[in-house]
Homo-oligomer: A and B are copies of this chain.
Amino acid sequence: MTIEVDYRFPLGVDVHKQAKMIAVGQTVGTWDGRFSHREESLRAHLAQVVNVVEDDTGSTATIHFPESNVEGDIASLLTMIFGKYSMAGQGKIIDLRLPQHYGKEPTVGMSGIRERLGVPHRPLIMAIFKPALGLSPEDHALIFSQVAHAGLDIIKDDEILPNLDIAPTKKRLEACLEVIHEVKAKTGRTVLYAVNVTGSAEDLIKNARKLVWKGANALLLNVLTYGFSVLDTLASDPEINVPIFAHPAFAGALCAAPHTGLAYSVVLGTLMAHGGADAVLYPAHYGSLPFDPQEEAKICQILRQRNVFPVPSAGIHPGILPQVIQDYGPDVILNAGTGIMDHPEGPAAGVRAFFEAWERLQGGGAFDLASLPEGALKRAVEKWGSA
């Protein structure tokens, strides 16, 4: 089985020369007569340039790498397909096709998350604790209580909240577990809290195990700042039997440039889907982040093919639901930060507005202000508009 990579070059780059540099330089590197007795073995490690296409705006080289050069994980894969070569000038990885068996499958995944929540069909609604920093564990529990009782499916820490003295991870979990138990006892519903795991690799892994043991029912990981190798360990561990939400923080550093780095769909799609994530957040094009709808659709498709939940974030508010469902269908987790927390009538109304919007959409109702009945949805549309 081979690993297939498309490298894109702008006009003016000698694509044939670059492709050869990659195929040799990123595999055997060099060889000479001293190793003629090993020629067969060396050849088995060489990558092959299988296609070169030149067009009006540049060129694309497709290269096949032997799977036997790497360890079946994301870290050794990235080192091979882009390690040293990434420093060679202009050249961007725009597509990556891995064998189906490469890497990890999600442990819980889209189907497992729906099963745990007992919500088989509708889009799931997810909130983020805000403000990101400065809240006590009691503040977290207070906010959580409001949105959880209003029907929320999932809440997550803000990705920039690490294990701080003012709100230690363990204390946040303890405070929020009370709410989870309360909602369960009262309504039978499960609410997930994706708690942010941080620290040096070994501490992070140990803490993740402890948190799950204490009752955490979801984890949040900044995969790109902590490392795919950390996701690998968490996803491989049978003790960590809860969904791992992968956050895209830092993805722009790798993906935002036109002619270097990797496409967003490679990093937030393929690498996450084969890296062990159960759900992956990415910026939706509705928000202020300049995100390409096509790239986003590709991420969504890649993730779902592997039973990984797409979690479009940014610019998500109740009035945009018709557009969101048209763009993604209902197999999606809608992640709203301010779209829930900054609702004019408070976070609980923010959650209710989403469910009102879902009901209305199901019933074929219009979303313009004049047609909307009084209520949380109308207040939301007054503030953020509708689509």
Contact = CB atoms under 8 A, between A and B. Distances in A.
B227 A89 contact: no
B226 A159 contact: no
Given A29-B158, A233-B201, A133 B69 contact: yes
Interface stretch (A48-56, A74-82, A374-382): A74-82
A363 to B, nearest CB: 32
A291 B86 CA distance: 12
Interface string A333-348: 0000110011000100
Interface range on chain A (Cβ under 8 Å from partner): 35 or more
Interface in A202-238: 202-205, 222, 225-230, 232-233, 236
A134 interface: yes
B249 A79 contact: yes
A387 interface: no
A134 B44 contact: yes
A288 B28 contact: no
B71 A26 contact: no
Top-8 shortest CB links A-B: A227-B227, A86-B252, A83-B249, A257-B257, A200-B232, A87-B252, A29-B132, A42-B134
30 contacts: A28-B131, A28-B134, A29-B132, A31-B130, A31-B134, A38-B135, A42-B131, A42-B134, A45-B133, A69-B164, A71-B163, A71-B198, A71-B199, A75-B227, A76-B198, A79-B222, A79-B225, A83-B225, A83-B247, A84-B159, A87-B251, A87-B283, A90-B256, A200-B232, A200-B236, A202-B233, A203-B233, A253-B262, A256-B257, A260-B261
Interface of A: 26-32, 34-35, 38, 41-42, 44-45, 68-71, 73-76, 78-80, 82-90, 130-136, 139, 158-160, 162-164, 166, 198-205, 222, 225-230, 232-233, 236, 247-262, 283, 288-291, 337-338, 341-342, 346
